[in-house]
Amino acid sequence: LLVVIADIHERRGALVERVVALTRVASINTSAALAFQDAPGAEEILAALGSERDVVGIRIQGLDEVPFARYRSPDPRHRALQERIALDERREHETAGEHRTPGNEPSARFLPGYLDVCLDVRVNGKPLGHMELQYDTADLTQRIWLQSWMALVVFMGGLGLAFMLASRLHRL
């Protein structure tokens, strides 16, 4: 059980590191577009970064919280997740106390079905805006369930074998 829990923690940490790195790349590549107010250029860059199959969406907004550029995955399997993300964003916007502002370091949080990473877009240390990237966690969830079931099967098999050996030894 401890091995399964440790592995789940490690897999989640590795996914966060990977998605934060992708968000940093997106932030660096779109900073010039944000500085020069080139929204079509930023959206082109986001679409290229969005070619990663599990990227559900990327959003950039200025410091004034006005949307600047956005990418939404065209993959049909992401439609329901995109609707859930839009609902989560509306709820977060309505609840002023829960709004996140990124800062120098990225913030990452697991929400049902996706990982949300938030980061400042900066040029020479000066913040120009904020970026949010949502990443589908269905593969991670599937692997965790598979590993949990396998651990349960191994445990039950060991328990059955122990019971069988104990009953045989009891007869001797």
Q: Tell me the DSSP string of 43-66.
A: HHHHHHHTTSTTEEEEEEEETTS-
**CA separation, residue 123 to residues 22, 38, 102, 127, 128 (Å):** 17, 15, 15, 7, 7
Identify whether the C-beta of residue 135 lies closer than 8 Å to the C-beta of residue 54: yes
**What pLDDT sits at residue 20?**
95
Identify the CA nearest to 42 among candidates 51, 52, 32, 53.
Answer: 32
**What pLDDT sits at residue 65?**
87
Give me the tens of pLDDT residue by residue for the chain, a chain 172 residues long: 788 888 889 999 999 999 999 999 999 999 999 999 999 999 999 999 988 999 999 999 999 989 999 999 999 999 999 999 999 888 887 775 444 555 668 999 999 999 999 999 999 889 999 999 999 999 988 988 898 898 889 999 999 999 999 998 887 7
Identify whether the C-beta of residue 38 lies closer than 8 Å to the C-beta of residue 116: no
pTM of the model: 0.83
